Amino acid sequence: MIIDFKHTQSAHCECGVTANLINDAVKDSDQQLSEALAFGMGQGIFFGYLPFIKVNELPLTTFRCPVGKIFKSVTRALGIDVKWQKFSSVPTAMDALDRELDKGHPVGCRTGGYWLPYFPPALRFHFNMHNIVVIGKEGDNYIISDPVFPSVVECPAKDLALARFAKGALAPKGSMYRITRVPEKIDFKPALLTGLKGAAKSMVKTPVPFLGTRGIRFLGKCVERWPKKFGNEKTVLLLGQLIRMQEEIGTGGGGFRFMYSAFLQQAAGILDDPRLITMAEQMTASGDLWRRFAVKAARHCKGRATQDDSVQAMRQVLNTCADIETRTFKELLSIAG
């Protein structure tokens, strides 16, 4: 059986899964959720440089909220009920998935992307936060709506089981979820204001120096110190890890800023508040600067750095990003009340 489910490609897996699952449940064409609205309502925008948490033995840098928060925040804000499950064994998890599919329910799953064979080899790496929607099964193959792909894909049952029980950091433990109830009428406005306020507070009201816009400045200081502290070889590794987390995992630093800009533009229309258009322009400017930083870092890694690509120049770019985002999120906090 294959469920009649509208697959829409997106830039980021959790935002795409959130929008696709909600749109399937709501059906009303006037209340469809875009990927950008899901990202903004879900308070997806964030920043953290966490040198005490290691990914592949290198510091973690995050440009978005914790995994799962977008879907949870959006469904909570819109009054949508969700059933969540985790499992201790593979057979139990796969049987539970099959039962939901037999009932005609599309099911969201969190997986380790490395074990999904439909990913091109060059894009497969150990990352346990990839969200998909399982929409059917034919023989021993599951039919999957993976929002980062242009159309639905197939995945052998043994590979999906491996992906659902991938080991390592943030292991998914067979996580699956589905929507059980949606309100008759959804009001986007309160959810938009809640999303704006929550994201702004996480960016400019954090009490610790390695999160939010303070975290961007903290990263700039660290980048400037890396050559003297670690030498060039490890600096290249650290910069390479930072670039990958910014530009390859999810939509990264610049990409998330552009997505948040799109959210602010759409929110401006729904809330009838033209001030959000100005905020959107500021976030686009920040996204451009994040991309400029990535280019400088990449030149440094390849041994092609000029004076404009020095660690001091990189820190200056990051400080400018922090300035723009601090101003933007303080203004958004004021707008959201």
* Cβ atoms of residues 84 and 71 within 8 Å: no
Tens-place pLDDT, residues 163-208 = 999 998 789 999 999 999 999 889 999 999 999 999 999 999 999 9
pLDDT at 125: 77
Apex CA 196: angle with CA 195 and CA 197, to 5°?
95
pLDDT at 279: 97
C-alpha to C-alpha distance for 115 and 109, rounded to whole angstroms: 13
| Other Cβ atoms within 10 Å of 23 Cβ, number | 19
Q: Which residues, 6+ apart, have CB-to-CB distance to 238 below 8 Å?
A: 58, 59, 226, 230
Tens-place pLDDT, residues 210-237 = 999 999 999 999 999 999 999 999 999 9
Tens-place pLDDT, residues 61-109 = 999 888 889 999 999 999 999 999 999 999 999 999 999 999 999 999 9
Q: Does residue 269 have a pLDDT over 90?
A: yes
Segment 89-93 long-range contacts (CB within 8 Å, at least 24 positions apart): 90/161, 90/164, 90/165, 90/174, 92/174, 93/161, 93/164, 93/165, 93/174, 93/176
Superfamily of domain 13-33+81-181: Cysteine proteinases (3.90.70.10)
Q: What is the pTM of this model?
A: 0.92
Q: Which amino acid belongs to residue 119?
A: F
pLDDT at 64: 87
pLDDT band at 251 (very low <50, low <70, confident <90, very high): low
What are the residue boundaries of the structural domains of the chain, listed by start?
A: 13-33+81-181, 188-336
Does residue 281 come out as left (phi exceeding 0), alpha (psi in the -120 to 50 range) or beta? alpha
